[in-house]
Amino acid sequence: MRRPLRFGLFVPQGWILDLVAIDDPVEQFEALVRVTRRAEALGFDSVWLFDHFHTYFKPVLETTFEAWTTTAALARETSRIRIGQMVTGNGYRNPALLAKMASTVDVMSHGRLDFGIGAGWYEHEYRAYGYDFPPTNVRLRMLGEALEVIHALWREPYASFEGEFYRLDGAINEPKGVQQPHPPVWVGGAGEQVTLKLAARHADATNFGGHLDDIAWYAHKLDVVRRHCEAIGRDPSELIHSTNVETTLVREGDDPELLTRTYRRDQTLEHYRSHAVVGGPQAVIDAYGRLVDAGLDYIVISDVPGLATTDVLDALAADVLPAFAGLRAG
């Protein structure tokens, strides 16, 4: 039986210069909150935050709100919608501390936390903030150990662990959170030999994206996850399969070139369309439908021009989401 289709939304946080139309940082944060509350009212299933400290793809002196403090704030500003990070950079926080933070936020939200984690990739940010940036294979080994540490702190009364990178010695984590057995773990990344194997072993959801011009790529990745699950005796249907979709809703009078200029960065519009959908409601519906046909069951809408300052969210909810009403009902 197919899992019901769900929709999430990246809220404006500053990382992709989506708050530059607002000058005052207090008002910027209030805009972030307004979008989150509106997403909740419109029936979105979740909102998501990037875990980054300064802007992408070029660091500039513009607002970027920190992910976990913002997660905690949104937990108290909402009552139904789920809240997550896509995804927490493992190298930015000790995983034992991160497990404690997540447990606390799960309580604060009354059990609405989605816990996203990945190996980390933004080298400039790591070095700017003084973090080590080891090679990819080392970061992946660290992620594997971190997932064990986090699960131990969520499960065991006194957690102990001895690894290459992390150690616990009778660590206590109380309260452990609200959700049972723990908040859902979303592992970000599409590496077939390590990341997706870690997801099959430790995660409740996978997340990858960025290949709208090659839908077969998604089906292939899902097949890799299935085989990793079968190798350890896990039912592949237990995992949520999500993708992030950069979405520009073009309405009457809009110029796609101008509308996407900030988010395209140095890409041509043609190249941007290889990994983002740019068009009217039917074009967005068609793109999402191809992803669903490939086997994905959770679409996280991202990089929406105008999200912080216009009614584009209402337009998405009115003109796009109803096309999937039957799938959302399960």
Answer yes or no: are the C-beta atoms of 128 and 54 closer than 8 Å: yes
pLDDT score of 76: 98
Residue 209: the pLDDT is 82
Whole-number Cα distances in Å, 299 to 7, 155, 195, 269: 5, 30, 20, 22
Tell me if the pTM is above 0.95. yes
Percent of the chain residues topping a pLDDT of 90? 95
**For the chain, domain boundaries:** 6-328
Taking only the tens place, the pLDDT of each residue in 254-308 is 999 999 998 998 899 999 999 999 999 999 999 999 999 999 999 999 999 999 9
| pLDDT above 80 (res 5) | yes
Buried b / exposed e over 26-62, threshold 16 CB at 10 Å, is eebbebbebbbbbbbebebbbbbbbbbbbbbeeeeee
**Gap between the Cα atoms of 245 and 140, Å rounded:** 25
Average pLDDT in the 13-25 region?
Answer: 97
CATH architecture assignment, domain 6-328: Alpha-Beta Barrel (3.20)
First to last CA, the chain: 9
Is residue 222 over pLDDT 90?
A: yes
Q: What distance in Å separates the CA atoms of residue 117 and residue 110, rounded to the nearest whole number?
A: 21
Question: Over the stretch 83-132, which tens digit does the pLDDT of each residue have?
Answer: 999 999 999 999 999 999 999 999 999 999 999 999 999 999 999 999 99
Reply yes or no on whether the pLDDT at 330 is more than 70: no
Instruction: Give the mean pLDDT of 134-142.
Output: 98
pLDDT value of position 1: 62
The predicted pLDDT at position 44 comes to 98
Beta bridge partners of residue 9, listed in sequence order: 47, 301
User: What are the percentages of helix, strand and coil residues in the chain, rounded to 5?
Assistant: 45, 15, 40
Mean pLDDT of the chain: 96
Using the predicted structure, report yes or no on whether residue 56 has a pLDDT greater than 90: no
